[in-house]
Amino acid sequence: MQIHPPGTVNRRTAAAGMAGFLVLALGFMSPSAMAQSDSLARIRSSGKIRIAIDLSVPPWSYKDDKLEMKGSEVDTAKLLAKDLGVELEVVPTNSANRIPLLMTNRADVVISAMTITPERLKTIDFSRPYSGISTYVAAPKSMAVRTPADLVGKKIAVTRGTTNDADITRMAPPGAEVVRFEDESTTMTAVVSGQMDVTALATTLIEVINQRNPGKQLEPKLLLQNSLFGVGMRKNDAALKEWVNKWIEDRLGSGDLQTIYKKHQGAEIPAEVLKGGT
């Protein structure tokens, strides 16, 4: 019979129990959850940050005639990567798959005119606001739209999965038809081409439509919301969120983000952005 020194069995039993607990606990953690805590270190180690950007939303982000990426979100992403000291890899996205790309670890962050909302905060984290815009129901100047009731009998173009989609769905009265398109570029094309007359868009995109088709004479009619945009990140990625928040604070302090905004949007950055927010 083997005799164990006093306390050995208890220590071994406890150690075995603890090892079993750790294996069990790790088994319940998804790979993405396990990786979240070291995202910032992993980005620095790889020398690359993957940023999801929708390249169909001028002047926020788009490709010009030479297929070069342009826009305020593109310049913001380039500046963030430069200050982090890593290469920028743009992950093309749209309004519907921005969050799925993030949650499946195919992007490290999202910089894609994404509004900070309570509903999205249930799934992902946001940085403090770095940008923003007002969104409206827009229609031709000649069309009388003063209240939601005036939308009865009208088709309203909107991009699927955006806050505009959620807002107009709540606002639209019975008898109004919300027509959803897969990205902002397609939504705007539908209006520019005359397929649709009423739309729910940001003020800057309303202006883009008027530039492409001056005959439309779109104007904002009904305010949907004043939106603040944040950098989207996975939940509990504390180190990365802290770095991004400090970066936004510093770049707002230096005026760089304001300069980028005015260059592409032709307006001053919303005052609410400078106040901090989330």
Look at residue 236 and tell me whether its pLDDT is greater than 90: no
Mean pLDDT of 259-270: 93
What proportion of the chain, given as a percentage, has pLDDT over 70?
A: 86
Neighbours of 18 (CB within 10 A): 10
Give the model's pLDDT for residue 2: 35
Least confident residue range of 22-26, 210-214, 229-233, 246-250: 22-26
Residues 75-96: tens digit of each pLDDT: 999 999 999 999 999 999 998 8
Residues 189-234: tens digit of each pLDDT: 999 999 999 999 999 899 899 999 999 999 999 999 999 999 999 9
Give the model's pLDDT for residue 97: 93
Give the model's pLDDT for residue 37: 53
Q: Cα–Cα distance between 173 and 132 in angstroms, integer?
A: 27
Q: Cα–Cα distance between 127 and 107 in angstroms, integer?
A: 16
Q: Structure tokens of 108?
A: 């490290």
Let me know: does 236 contact 36? Beta carbons within 8 Å: yes
Report the side by side order of strands in the sheet with 131-140.
177-181, 155-159, 198-202, 131-140, 218-229
SS3 25: helix
User: Which stretches within 93-202 are classed as H helix?
Assistant: 98-103, 163-171, 184-192
Say which residues have a Cβ less than 8 Å from residue 126's Cβ, sequence separation at least 6: 114, 116, 120, 230, 231, 232, 233, 278
Nearest to 57 by CA among 134, 159, 195, 142: 159
**What type of residue sits at position 165?**
D
Residues 125-175: tens digit of each pLDDT: 999 999 999 999 999 999 999 999 999 999 999 999 899 999 999 999 999
At 28, is the pLDDT very low, low, confident or very high (cuts 50, 70, 90)?
very low
